[in-house]
Structure 1
Amino acid sequence: MPITAFLHTHVLVVILFLLLFLAKALLLFLGKHDTLNKVRSSTKILDMVFGTLILVSGGFLTYKYNGPLPTWLLVKMGLVLVAIPIAIVGIKRHSKVLTAVGVLTFLYVYGVAETKSLNMSPAQPEVAETMPTSVEKPQPKASEPAAVNPILSQLEGTQLNNTKAIYTQLCATCHGPDGQKGLSGASNLQRSTLSVEERKAVIANGRGLMPGFGSQLSEQEQEALAQFTTMLK
């Protein structure tokens, strides 16, 4: 199973687990203990399956993560490991306090996962890392025409349509047609300040939970796709 499909499966299981848990929590807070006991009894196996899938899929995605694990992801993992048993015990013992802690923790974890931020603030634009240097780059003379990117000049007609098709197939699910969807923490391509070359490197090698497509796309396709992402509006 491709990692993208695995990621979406993980998100789906998490959402289903949350909905089921929130339904039980609502019954508990409303004092519907008999109904809660019936629901809990009929969903024991489902709870075990969901919990196991969350831990297994989350562990696999962590293993496949490109680069060092960010702080928000480490905190998220720790909270999930704590929240699942708290939620189960809270529902089992009809403890409103433990259940409330579980609800708040799960909602916080979900927010952190979607924003990739511990304070759940919108992700900041990607900024390319630069190395300090004392050597200034020579500025082009006023009489010299600016260099034309051959890919940019050719990105029209058939090639533009082909690049759009590649973007739709490989990128739009997470990034959206305009680059701003941000599904499962995907970067906002309109706000990113990465250069074309840096975008090309990410396309080829992947980053975070994004897989690399270097083995699927030619050099020209990678560069055209990188250039195309700078044109999204």
Structure 2
Amino acid sequence: MHIHVLVVILFLILFLIKAFQLFLNKHHSLNRTRTSTKMLDIVFGTLILASGGYLIFNYNGPLPTWLLVKVGLVLAAIPLAVVGIKRHSKVITAVGLLIFLYVYGIAETKSLKMRPDKGEAVAVSPNGEVGTASPDPEKASHPILAQLEGTQLENTKAIYTALCANCHGEDGQKGTGGAVNLQQSNLTVEERRNVIANGRGLMPGYGSQLSEQEIETLALYSTMLKK
């Protein structure tokens, strides 16, 4: 994840430098910059695709729509950026820049609307079944009753099934190999995050496999199994 973010930032910095030179009609400076950074563009572009592909391949659960759209836009934006600068086309370069900005917004909010989806609230019963629930500000603000929504809930449940259910059970009380009964556990959300990331006893840590948000939502999901 860190490598992917780093190469994306470096690629965008080089692209923005050349884009500003183009928009300011400094074509001679742009040609020199483009010549000196040609190899870096190839390396960074390749690393973006390779690291992004690796992250998608190792993604836990079904790929959400926003992520698929993000990948498609990145695949379009990189060649657009290269072609726009190469041809000194302000229009193509501007389109590439706008796509990158939109992709950044999607990545930050995990929403095609670039804002958190406030769709239908979802409640999780102790046996792991999912159902809809009427919005309730009091419950939404309570950490134990924190609500996951839409594809985020589906992804979190898929992660739980893949990594946790074998020992903890679908309902949290299986207890295989000394696993804690999640229906009776009094661990706080923060403590659960720490255990998921770093492991405890026979349980391995998943900090290297899951993103911080995935660890956060998985910790919240586990509290919903508590009776």
> What's the TM-score once normalised by structure 2's chain length?
0.59
Gaps of 5+ in 2: 132-182, 200-210
Q: Partner amino acid for 1:19?
A: I
Alignment of 1:89 onto 2:83: yes
Alpha-carbon distance between aligned partners in 2 of 1:185 and 1:150, rounded to the nearest angstrom: 25
Q: Could you say which residue in structure 2 is the equivalent of 1:58?
A: 52
Separation (CA, whole Å) in 2 of partners of 1:30 and 1:58: 32
> Which amino acid in the other structure matches residue 45 of structure 1?
M
Q: How does 1:185-204 map to 2 (within 5 A)?
A: 186=213, 189=216, 194-196=221-223
- Secondary structure of 1:86 counterpart: helix
Aligned-partner Cα distance in 1 for 2:62–2:192 = 31
Partner of 2:8: 14
Q: Distance in 2 between matches of 1:188 and 1:56?
A: 24
Distance 1:166 1:131, change over 3 A: closer
Q: Does the CA-based 8 Å contact 1:27-1:35 persist in structure 2?
A: yes
For residues 64-93 of structure 1, give each alpha carbon's deviation from its aligned partner in whole angstroms, at most 9, with x where no partner exists.
Answer: 111111111111111111111111000000
Match of 2:100 in 1: 106
Q: Which structure has the higher relative contact order (CA within 8 Å, separation 6+)?
A: 1
Moved over 6 A (4+): none
Q: Which moved more, 1:94-103 or 1:15-24?
A: 15-24
**Paired letter, 1:20:** L
Q: Which amino acid aligns with 1:25?
A: A
Q: CA RMSD for the aligned pairs?
A: 3.5
Matches of 1:61 and 1:103, distance apart in 2? 23
Taking structure 1 as the reference length, what is the TM-score of the superposition? 0.58
Distance in 2, matches of 1:13 and 1:170, equals: 27
Distance in 2 separating the partners of 1:9 and 1:44: 20
Seq. identity, %? 59
Distance change in 2, residues 1:92/1:106 (3 Å): same
